[in-house]
């Protein structure tokens, strides 16, 4: 099934992401650096991206929006670890 939503844990160098299909089932987990993160999303069709609102989240939200992705930035108290 195609990827519908991607959740990203932002960091300085290594980013962790979980991609899910339309039913919410996680179909892919990855650890990517900055360069490979941009390449990964550049190769995807438009998806929903969810990132915890933090200092760098707005920078990445603009980059992903430029790639035609939809971005959500929930506040930190709405985000919980898996």
Confirm whether pTM is higher than 0.85. Answer: yes
Confidence of residue 81 (pLDDT cuts 50, 70, 90): low
Q: What is the pLDDT of residue 59?
A: 92
CATH code of 25's domain = 3.30.420.40
What does the pLDDT look like over 19-63, one tens digit per residue? 999 999 999 999 999 889 999 999 899 999 999 888 889 999 999
Q: What is the DSSP string of 7-54?
A: EEE--SSEEEEEEE-TT--EEEEEEEEHHHHHHHHHTSPS-EEEE--S
CA 20 to CA 66: how far, in whole Å? 22
| Cβ proximity of 23 and 12 under 8 Å | no
**How far is the C-alpha of 19 from the C-alpha of 5, rounded, in Å?**
6
Domain assignment of residue 47, given as a range: 5-78
Our count of domains for the chain comes to 1
């Amino acid at each position: 099934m195609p990827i519908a939503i991607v959740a990203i844990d932002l960091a300085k160098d290594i980013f962790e992401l979980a991609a899910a299909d339309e039913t919410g089932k996680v179909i892919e987990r990855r650890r990517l650096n900055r360069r490979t993160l941009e390449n990964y999303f550049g190769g995807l069709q438009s998806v929903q991206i969810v990132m915890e609102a933090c200092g760098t989240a707005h920078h990445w939200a603009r980059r992903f929006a430029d790639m035609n992705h939809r971005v959500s930035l929930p506040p930190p108290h709405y985000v919980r670890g898996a």
